[in-house]
Amino acid sequence: MEQGSPHATRVTIERLGHRGDGIAAGPVYVPGALPGEVVEGAVQSGVIAAPRIVTPSTDRVAAPCRHAKACGGCQLQHASDDFVAGWKVDVIRRALSAQGLETELRPIATSPSQSRRRAAFSARRTKKGALAGFHRKASDVVVAVPDCILVTPALAAALPLVEALAVLGASRKGELSVLVTDCASGLDVAVSGGKPLDTALRADLAALAQDHGLSRLTWDDETLAFKPAFQSFDGIDVVPPPGAFLQATEAGEQTLRAGVNAALESCTHLVDLFAGCGTFALPLAKRARVHAVEGEAAMVRALDQGWRQAQGLRHVTHEARDLFRNPLLPDELKRFDGVVIDPPRAGAEAQIAEIASARVPKIAHVSCNPVTFARDCATLVAAGYRLDWVMPVDQFRWSTHVEVVSALSLQD
């Protein structure tokens, strides 16, 4: 660490942290900096909040989105695609290494720009109308993002709709949260944080939904306008409940599904744990019997309806069950020759232990958190499984998040 210009400190960035900030010795955190760069600026509480890049990295690029400096939606637009891909693969490699695991790391699959099919917009009423977009970096200030290159064109074009919702139903002091999902039948919109519904507001919102051709509009827990808000899982139509979990991009979903299929290629009787609305369970039923387990009853009902209306699927059974508090036990698991597990970020420590005890032959493990993924894989490896391969999947382009799909097999 050196003194640069008066009142400024000069540092060399050694690595990126898990939030995408550059980290120098000290540690000193420098948002927007890359490894190898020399930067300077005032250090306050261990952070250079407004750095000047003295020596830029060869991996530094001009941000492709004009909103990148203000918007907090992306953390890594200043880095080349190759750098971001390599960094994300290294995040997974380090997580595995910390658990003593080594395996084949397949090439990363990165979703294209303008492919994110769901976005949580924020909106506030203003004196002249409303402002909708994403939050400014490290702030609750809303920044308009009319040319966002992350989301699908249909979502980018939804900002006037979000503003109109705020004009109708946001309080002057509160912030409206508007979750917009792109689906085949139009936009699926779920709003929270707005005014309580009354007769006039219901009528206004229903008219707005009709004018904008929405497939569904949900205000807190009440659905005001509805036509089937379909999502297609490998050609199988499902209507998820409002706000239900959905893979972020179609490309990412297809990559994860292909990985799950490859991991369970020889299996004929499968259990899908944390099954959601059937992202994996329903396509797998084209060739195998499947039992789907999910904690949210509304998602299970959507999965069941999708199965009943589809053609050519094998038998799919299901249950609503909290797999954290009540995991499937070995005597329930032993009838299956393959498991799909796609838990939330916390992982599935209790359920993984029961799978290990049951010794199910094949496992397809999907995860959005490399740290808990590696922890759970280590439990399985200690119980006699081999981690055959891991494939990084980047559905959250220009962010610090990365997902994986992997194959594990029981060793004799």
Average pLDDT, the chain: 95
Contacts of 410 (CB under 8 A, 6+ apart): 359, 360, 361, 362, 384, 385, 386
Residue among 74, 267, 368, 377 flagged as catalytic: 368
Query: What CA–CA distances, in Å, run from 291 to 45, 68, 302, 343, 347?
Result: 52, 44, 15, 16, 20
Q: Is 231 annotated as a binding residue?
A: no
Mean of pLDDT values over 383-410:
97
Mean of pLDDT values over 279-305:
98
Rounded Cα distance between 93 and 297, Å, is 36
Q: Is 412 annotated as a binding residue?
A: no
Say if residues 38 and 54 touch (Cβ distance below 8 Å).
Answer: yes
Say if residues 295 and 322 touch (Cβ distance below 8 Å).
Answer: yes
Q: Which helix (H) or strand (E) holds 299?
A: helix 297-309
For position 352, what pLDDT does the model report? Answer: 98
Active site residue 377: no
Give strand pairing partners of 180. Answer: 119, 189
Say if residues 120 and 150 touch (Cβ distance below 8 Å).
Answer: no
91-132 pLDDT, tens digit per residue, is: 999 999 999 999 999 999 999 999 999 999 999 999 889 999
Q: Is 294 annotated as a binding residue?
A: yes
Given a cut of 80, whether residue 412 has pLDDT beyond it is no
How far is the first Cα of the chain from the last one, in angstroms, to the nearest whole number?
Answer: 55
Q: Is 309 annotated as a binding residue?
A: no
Does this model's pTM top 0.85? My answer is yes
Give strand pairing partners of 238. Answer: 231
Given a cut of 80, whether residue 249 has pLDDT beyond it is yes
